[in-house]
Chain A
Amino acid sequence: MAKDALMDYDKALELFEPVLGFEVHVELNTKTKMFSHAPNDFGSDANTNVTPVCLGLPGALPVVNEQAVRYSISLGLALGCSIAPSSRFARKNYFYPDLAKNYQISQYDEPIAFGGSVDVELPNGRQVTVPIERAHMEEDAGKLTHVGGSTGRIQGAEYSLVDYNRAGVPLVEIVTDIIYGAESDAPELAKAYVATIRDIVVSLGISDARMERGNLRCDANISLRPRTPEGQPSAPLGTRTETKNVNSLRSVERAIRYEIQRQAAILADGGTITQETRHWHEDTGRTSAGRPKSDADDYRYFPEPDLLPVQPSAELIEELRAALPEPPAERRRRLKAEWGFTDLEFQDVVNGGLLVEITETVAAGATPAAARKWWTGEISRIANVNGVEASSLVSPENVAAVAALVEAGSLNDKLARQVLEGVIAGEGTPQEVVDARGLAVVSDDGALIAAIDEALASQPDVLAKIRDGKVQAAGAVIGAVMKAMRGQADAARVRELVLERAAG
């Protein structure tokens, strides 16, 4: 893969205005698939969650999952959309083995929801309203594994293996209108937008929204247009690329930044942008050309003859509207107040995309301060080192369990970090890691006192100072005791005991 020339980001922004658009696919967490009663279940053995509908066998008839329709309406309403009094499904025809039918059932000219907007807050405090063109229902495709190529990608593959478990899983595709005015915040806006969509679907309870599992996927469209002098009409929109395979909030931000720099370098050099799909590579932090927009995009949509129109009643729409959770911006304000975080602390949480994690950790019994500390601290640190999402490392329940062990005095900070590390490494629940690694703090005063007496006896000068009232001298003894206990003691308790014993 040839390295693309990149223009300095600030320079690119001086010359060009980035214009954005996003397509976010949300997998719904219904029990069954969109058009079949097969289980919608991640991680089952290949091709075990399939019915004749999923395999496109002759004569199989799709039937719409009512819950998926309700979820789609709720999502549409949460995005500020109007709900179509009548919407219908369409066949999107393409010939690729990820769907056995040779078409995907989607919606085309009559989506279930249209014309909304989402308020997004950027790390610098700027508020941006992202216009939503539509949200439509469709089915996910199966999973292909390419075999024989050196990289596991399709290039050079000899054959592919197909698992149709995911084929037919309900999806809602959320399509934005063209987003102008992001300017230099474009990468941050992209990340904040996807994080907001994730917050919305999680608070609606309609998706697991795990990006690393593909429950939430973002295709990022971006084009650049040259700036024109003040008072002159804007230049026409540039040719856009669509970057796929961006599977974390962090990648969304990086991919947009990369495409701005790549496109700017080409345009400034007098070149033209090819309208194409680009694949994001997490490992190299680059995009590479996928297939060009071409004949293959001739999908020959037509109304799905096997399915009847969806015509939600006004009563149903109002019922679902009444049950909507509070909008993300309001929720953020409420949580900030409830948790008692400072502006800076709260911004850390929002920027880390950790609202959901902290909410769930608090729900699992941790204090907001402890939840924030672990998620924005140690867990984010490990996530950054490994280039993954913090949310993919450990469950909120396990973080709450670690916090509870600290609260109970069974773990100190240092040990708690080791326990988290063990949980992240897949060694089990926090308690299992504590047991297996023997990590609990020594709470047996007898063992502590023995170590303290020994340390005091070996440092008579320190003992004398403490007796003279120089309490800070106790630090040396505490240090020696903590070392003797291999860090597995509660330093505050050790300090208490040192002062007691020294007073003798």
Chain B
Amino acid sequence: MSEISEEQVAHLANLARIALTPQEISSLTTELDQIVDSIAKVQQVATPDVPATSHPVPLSNVFRPDVIGETLTIEQALRNAPEHDDNRFRVSAILGEEQ
């Protein structure tokens, strides 16, 4: 049973700005489909008594006081950046997508 189509994978790749070849789309479609199938097995053991959950730990309200802590130095902040211009990260312009 195929849940994932090549169109969906191509759409996701486009959303994520990842260029995929037709071969990659095809193999990823197969792989993702297998992953979805595996995860779907959970549904076989889920019963109406088991509430949906997004977290494995039964905790809530884990907060941090509003107190300033240590920040990165400029050098640390920019260390992994492929390109920067003075203090700022430099990225290629993404046309037509001003948020």
Q: CB distance B72 to A157 under 8 Å?
A: no
A residues 42-84 near B (Cβ < 8 Å) are 45-52, 55, 57, 63-69
Q: CB distance B69 to A45 under 8 Å?
A: no
Residues of B within 8 A of A158 (CB): 93
A residues 163-222 near B (Cβ < 8 Å) are 163-164
Least CB separation from B93: chain A residue: A157
Q: CB distance B99 to A63 under 8 Å?
A: no
Residues of B within 8 A of A484 (CB): none
Q: CB distance A37 to B64 under 8 Å?
A: yes
Q: CB distance A46 to B11 under 8 Å?
A: no
Is residue A159 within 8 Å, beta carbon to beta carbon, of the partner chain? yes
Q: CB distance B87 to A308 under 8 Å?
A: no
Q: CB distance B88 to A298 under 8 Å?
A: no
Residues of A within 8 A of B57 (CB): 308
Is residue A127 within 8 Å, beta carbon to beta carbon, of the partner chain? no
Is residue A305 within 8 Å, beta carbon to beta carbon, of the partner chain? yes
Chain A nearest CB: distance from B45 CB in Å?
20
Residues of B within 8 A of A88 (CB): 54
Partner of A47, one of B60, B66, B74, B95: B74
Q: Please tell me which stretch of A223-231, A288-296, A348-356, A357-365 contacts chain B, meaning at least 4 of its Cβ atoms lie within 8 angstroms of it.
A: A288-296
Q: CB distance A305 to B85 under 8 Å?
A: no
Residues of B within 8 A of A479 (CB): none
In the bound assembly, the distance between CA atoms of A485 and B61 in angstroms comes to: 68
Q: Please tell me which stretch of B14-22, B27-35, B36-44 contacts chain A, meaning at least 4 of its Cβ atoms lie within 8 angstroms of it.
A: B14-22
Q: CB distance A30 to B66 under 8 Å?
A: yes
Q: CB distance B89 to A63 under 8 Å?
A: no
Partner of B14, one of A32, A46, A159, A295: A295
Least CB separation from A45: chain B residue: B87
Partner of A66, one of B63, B89, B97: B63
Per-residue CB proximity of A235-247 to B under 8 Å, as 1/0? 0000000000000
Partner of B63, one of A64, A86, A97, A147: A64
Q: CB distance A65 to B96 under 8 Å?
A: no
Q: CB distance A55 to B77 under 8 Å?
A: yes
Residues of B within 8 A of A159 (CB): 90-93
Chain B nearest CB: distance from A274 CB in Å?
14
Least CB separation from A290: chain B residue: B98
Q: CB distance B14 to A66 under 8 Å?
A: no
Q: CB distance A291 to B68 under 8 Å?
A: no
Taking chain B's interface residues, is the majority helix, strand, or loop, or is none over half, making it mixed?
Answer: loop
Taking chain A's interface residues, is the majority helix, strand, or loop, or is none over half, making it mixed?
Answer: loop
Residues of B within 8 A of A475 (CB): none
Chain B nearest CB: distance from A288 CB in Å?
11
Chain B contact residues (Cβ within 8 angstroms of A): what range?
35 or more
Is residue A317 within 8 Å, beta carbon to beta carbon, of the partner chain? no
Is residue A9 within 8 Å, beta carbon to beta carbon, of the partner chain? no
Residues of B within 8 A of A310 (CB): 60-61
Partner of A65, one of B11, B64, B88, B94: B64
Q: CB distance A160 to B62 under 8 Å?
A: no
Residues of B within 8 A of A153 (CB): 98
Q: CB distance B94 to A97 under 8 Å?
A: yes
Q: CB distance A68 to B54 under 8 Å?
A: no
Q: CB distance B89 to A305 under 8 Å?
A: no
Q: A47-B77, A98-B99, A295-B11 are in contact. Are A154 and B69 (CB under 8 A)?
A: no
Is residue B71 within 8 Å, beta carbon to beta carbon, of the partner chain? yes
Is residue B78 within 8 Å, beta carbon to beta carbon, of the partner chain? yes
Chain A contact residues (Cβ within 8 angstroms of B): what range?
35 or more
Residues of A within 8 A of B70 (CB): 37, 51
Chain A nearest CB: distance from B51 CB in Å?
12
Partner of B86, one of A46, A68, A296: A46
Least CB separation from B73: chain A residue: A48
In the bound assembly, the distance between CA atoms of A108 and B45 in angstroms comes to: 27
Is residue A161 within 8 Å, beta carbon to beta carbon, of the partner chain? yes
A residues 125-159 near B (Cβ < 8 Å) are 141, 145-148, 153-155, 157-159
Is residue B67 within 8 Å, beta carbon to beta carbon, of the partner chain? yes
Partner of B72, one of A55, A69, A93: A55
Partner of A298, one of B15, B66, B68: B15
Is residue B65 within 8 Å, beta carbon to beta carbon, of the partner chain? yes
Residues of A within 8 A of B15 (CB): 93-95, 295-296, 298, 300
In the bound assembly, the distance between CA atoms of A313 and B80 in angstroms comes to: 42
Q: CB distance A63 to B77 under 8 Å?
A: no
Is residue A311 within 8 Å, beta carbon to beta carbon, of the partner chain? yes
Residues of B within 8 A of A148 (CB): 93
Q: CB distance A162 to B88 under 8 Å?
A: yes
Q: CB distance B87 to A47 under 8 Å?
A: yes
Is residue B1 within 8 Å, beta carbon to beta carbon, of the partner chain? no
Residues of A within 8 A of B11 (CB): 295, 298
Q: CB distance A64 to B64 under 8 Å?
A: yes
Chain A nearest CB: distance from B60 CB in Å?
4
Residues of B within 8 A of A305 (CB): 54-55
12 contacts between A and B (CB under 8 A): A63-B62, A67-B65, A86-B60, A88-B54, A96-B97, A158-B93, A162-B88, A162-B89, A164-B89, A296-B15, A305-B54, A307-B62
Could you tell me which B residues sit within 8 Å of A by CB distance? 11, 14-17, 54-55, 57, 59-72, 74, 77-78, 80, 85-99
Could you tell me which A residues sit within 8 Å of B by CB distance? 30-32, 37-39, 45-52, 55, 57, 63-69, 86, 88, 93-98, 102, 141, 145-148, 153-155, 157-164, 279, 290-291, 295-296, 298, 300, 302-305, 307-312
CB-CB nearest 6 A-B residue pairs: A37-B69, A303-B54, A67-B66, A66-B63, A161-B88, A46-B87
